[in-house]
């Protein structure tokens, strides 16, 4: 990957700053040089007429349930949520009596596009399994926008998703957050202003992949590997930190040198260290694949050692064993409802994991997919957790559980100020369901992305189809498939 020249870099920085909408609650600081985007989002929502969805059971994602309520979408934003809303004259009206309305579903853990369907060798673009630390790779450069999985996820109500590199490596690379819209290139899917994530992995996968090669072959070497990488990044960060004031010009120096030193970038850029330094800075959010409670505890200490924050532990089948600590440290658990036992570190999985992570004050539980099938029905995954939790005596109301697949993943991805709840001013990412979403029989009927009707189950013209599916005789009868 070519490194932009310094002069170009400044121009790109300026461009990126201009195109980044305010994300006050999520990213208070200006992006550092580690978060400059040379491949910026070109996504712009199409203009849309106002939409009034009326008479629905509305789960706002903020913990509220409103019965017989309306949701008004104007100019791609949520204008209002409440009862008896007045719509502009040109508004499209949706009679949603008997239906349920939720924020657009958000998946924090997807490999759509990087492990696209069909799962041929040529589509295996998610693990740069050539070296245990590949912080230099960016998942967005692997995303195939024609993955049919995007449109089936949309039919499941998913409007935003984080695409992560795989878990073969200790540090797998940068993730990218997308709006789930059909596009020819990934830039046209990139969620404007969303921070990148950094994918790391604990445990069995890295040591299995590298155990017979260069290592790591053990968990202790895994940790040594993270530490070595972050030691390098800390040093890099120190070297590249802009000086507060220009160095004093010595008599033998030309004036231009002194000016440059005020923007000192510490010499040649290192893509790997850029990403790790961005993680330390907080510009890039750290997402760690980690199953066992003891390993999560070590990763929390690692984070403290190097001054970064863990946004979420992913898979974390043992998160329930340290749910209080996760809540206290503000770390989310991005989890499955019921997967377990496929390897030793997942042997202690239980179906109440999400409910137990959700239980302490400040707990941040997320239902994630890691699957092209699971992402289509995150609502049902949440329903399974609710049913298991009820059996264990923990009744969880729908208005609370909906946050597991909307607000909480949005929070962990740094996009909560833009989406994830039905609050005035946010992106009009909205799903109209045929009934309660927490059922085997739940179907998303209409899905809005930024106020645009992106999916309409009743109208084949509003069901996106990937280029790949065209002209396939076997798929002619497909539709939503």
Partner 1 sequence: MSRVMSRATTRATTGATLSRTLLAIALSACALAAHAQDVLIRNATVHTATARGTLQSTDVLVSGGVVRALGQGLAAPAGAQVVDAQGRPLTPTLFGGITQIGVDEVSGESATVDQTLALGAPTREMTVRPEFDVTLAYNPASTLLPVARVEGIGWTLLAPGTAEGGSIIAGQGAVMRLDGSPDPAGPRVLFVNLGGDAVGLTGRSRAAQWMLLDQFIDEVRGRIPPDSHAAMLTPAGRATLARFLDGGGRVVVEIDRAADIRQLLRWSRRHGVRVAIASGAEAWMLAGDLAAAEVPVFVDPLLNLPGSFDAIGATLANAARLHAAGVAVGFTQSDDVSHNARKVRQLAGNAVAAGLPWDAALAGLTRVPARAFGVAEGLGGIAPGQRADLVLWTGDPLDVAHVAAQVWLGGRAIPMRSRQTDLLERYLRRQPGDAVR
Question: In the range 369-408, which residues lie near partner 1 by CB under 8 A?
Answer: 371-373, 376-377, 380, 383-384, 386-400
CB of 342 to partner 1, least distance (A): 4
* CB of 475 vs partner 1, minimal distance in Å: 5
Bond preceding residue 475 cis, omega within 30 of 0:
no
Task: For the sheet with 158-163, list strands across it.
Answer: 105-110, 158-163, 176-179
Closer to partner 1 by CB, 221 or 475: give it: 475
- Judged by CB under 8 A, the residue of 264, 324, 329, 456 near partner 1 is 324
Write each residue from 99 to 128 as x if it is in contact with partner 1 (CB under 8 A), else as -, in one continuous string. Answer: ------------------xxxx--------
- Member of 62, 340, 456, 457 binding partner 1 (CB under 8 A): 340
Q: Contacting partner 1 (CB under 8 A), which of 339, 457, 462, 464? A: 339
CA distances from 93 to 50, 52, 279 (A): 9, 5, 44
Q: What does the DSSP 8-state code read for residue 404?
A: G
Alpha carbon distance 365, 371 (integer Å):
18
Among 9, 77, 359, 457, binds partner 1 (CB under 8 A): 359
Q: Cβ(429)–Cβ(450) under 8 Å? A: yes
CB of 187 to partner 1, least distance (A): 24
3-state secondary structure of 261: helix
Q: What angle (nearest 5°) sits at the alpha carbon of residue 130, between those of residues 126 and 135?
A: 65
Instruction: In whole angstroms, give the CA distance from residue 70 to residue 81.
Output: 6
Least Å from the CB of residue 166 to partner 1:
16
Tell me which stretch binds partner 1 (CB under 8 A): 35-43, 93-101, 421-429, 434-442.
434-442
In 3-state terms the chain splits into helix, strand, coil percentages (rounded to 5) of 30, 20, 45
**Placement of tokens 């092209």 in the chain:** 372
Please choose, out of 23-31, 37-45, 270-278, 319-327, the segment that lies near partner 1 by the rule CB under 8 A: 319-327
CB closer to partner 1, 138 vs 455: 455
What gap in Å lies between CA 48 and CA 75, rounded to an integer?
A: 6
| Shortest distance (Å) from residue 179 CB to partner 1 | 20
Per rule CB under 8 A, is residue 438 in the interface with partner 1? yes
Measured between alpha carbons, how far is 282 from 80 in angstroms, rounded to an integer?
32
Nearer to partner 1, 41 or 376 (CB): 376
As a whole number of Å, the CA-based R_g of the chain is 23
The CA distance from 69 to 59, in Å, is 10
> Minimum Å distance from CB 460 to partner 1?
14
Can residue 443 be called a binding residue for partner 1 (CB under 8 A)?
Answer: yes
Q: Does 414 contact partner 1 by CB under 8 A?
A: no
Total number of residues that touch partner 1 (CB under 8 A): 73
- Least Å distance between CB 165 and partner 1? 21
Cβ atoms < 10 Å from Cβ of 5: 9
Residue nearer to partner 1 on the CB measure, 8 or 387: 387
Minimum CB–partner distance for residue 196 and partner 1 (Å):
27
Q: Give residue for tokens 């693990």.
A: 127
Binding mask 193-222 for partner 1 (x = CB under 8 A): -----------x------------------
Residue of 107, 274, 352, 429 that binds partner 1 (CB under 8 A)? 352
For partner 1, the binding residues in 52-81 under the rule CB under 8 A are 63-65
Nearer to partner 1, 196 or 433 (CB): 433
Helix or strand holding residue 180 (H, E): none
Tell me: does residue 41 bind partner 1 (CB under 8 A). Answer: no
Residue linked to tokens 């706002």: 60
User: With binding defined as CB under 8 A, does residue 262 bind partner 1?
Assistant: no
Q: Which is nearer to partner 1, 274 or 381 (by Cβ)?
A: 381
> CA distances (Å), 476 to each of 152, 372, 373, 472, in order?
16, 21, 21, 6
Residue among 299, 245, 233, 302 at smallest CA distance from 272: 233
- Residue 230 or 320: which CB sits closer to partner 1? 320
Q: What is the DSSP string of 321-362?
A: GGHHHHHHTT-EEEE-SS---SSGGGTT--TTHHHHHHSSTT
CA quadruple 200, 204, 205, 211: dihedral sign: positive
x/- mask, partner 1, residues 135-174, rule CB under 8 A, reads: -------------xx--x----------------------
């Amino acid at each position: 990957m070519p490194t932009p020249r310094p002069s170009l870099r400044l121009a790109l920085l300026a461009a990126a700053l201009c195109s980044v909408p305010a994300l006050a609650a999520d990213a208070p600081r200006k992006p550092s040089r580690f978060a400059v985007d040379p491949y910026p989002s070109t996504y712009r929502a199409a203009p849309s007429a106002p939409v009034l969805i009326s008479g629905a059971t509305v789960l706002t994602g903020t913990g509220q349930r409103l019965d017989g309520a309306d949701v008004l979408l104007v100019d791609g934003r949520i204008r209002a949520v409440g009862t008896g809303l007045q719509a502009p004259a040109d508004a499209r009206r949706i009679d949603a009596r008997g239906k349920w309305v939720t924020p657009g579903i958000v998946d924090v853990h997807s490999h759509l596009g990087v492990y696209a369907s069909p799962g041929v060798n040529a589509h295996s673009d998610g693990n740069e399994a050539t070296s245990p630390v590949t912080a230099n790779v960016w998942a967005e450069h692997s995303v195939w926008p024609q993955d049919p999985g995007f449109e089936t996820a949309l039919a499941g109500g998913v409007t935003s998703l984080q695409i992560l590199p795989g878990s073969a490596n200790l540090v797998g690379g940068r993730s990218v957050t997308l709006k789930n819209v059909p596009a020819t290139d990934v830039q046209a899917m990139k969620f404007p202003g969303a921070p990148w994530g950094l994918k790391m992995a604990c445990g069995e996968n890295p040591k299995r992949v590298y155990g017979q090669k260069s290592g790591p072959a053990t968990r202790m070497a895994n940790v040594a590997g993270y530490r070595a990488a972050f030691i390098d990044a800390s040093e890099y960060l120190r070297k590249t930190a802009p000086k507060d004031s220009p160095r004093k010009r010595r008599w033998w120096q030309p004036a231009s040198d002194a000016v440059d030193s005020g923007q000192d970038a510490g010499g040649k850029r290192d893509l790997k260290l850029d990403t790790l330094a961005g993680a330390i800075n907080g510009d890039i959010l750290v997402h760690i694949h980690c199953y066992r409670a003891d390993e999560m505890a070590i990763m929390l200490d690692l984070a403290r050692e190097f001054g970064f924050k863990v946004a979420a532990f992913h898979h974390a089948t043992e998160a329930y064993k340290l749910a209080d600590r996760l809540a206290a440290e503000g770390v989310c658990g991005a989890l499955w409802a019921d997967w377990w036992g496929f390897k030793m570190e997942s042997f202690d999985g239980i179906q109440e994991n999400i409910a137990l992570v959700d239980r302490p004050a400040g707990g941040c539980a997320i239902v994630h997919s890691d699957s092209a099938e699971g992402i289509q029905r995150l609502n049902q995954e949440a329903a399974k957790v609710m049913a298991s939790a009820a059996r264990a005596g923990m009744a969880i109301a729908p208005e609370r559980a909906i946050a597991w697949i909307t607000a909480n993943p949005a929070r962990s991805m740094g996009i909560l100020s833009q989406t994830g709840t039905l609050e005035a001013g946010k992106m009009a990412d909205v799903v109209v369901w045929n009934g309660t979403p927490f059922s085997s029989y739940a179907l998303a009927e209409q899905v809005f992305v930024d106020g645009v009707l992106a999916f309409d189950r009743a109208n084949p013209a509003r069901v996106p189809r990937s280029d790949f599916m065209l002209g396939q005789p076997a798929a002619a009868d497909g539709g939503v498939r």
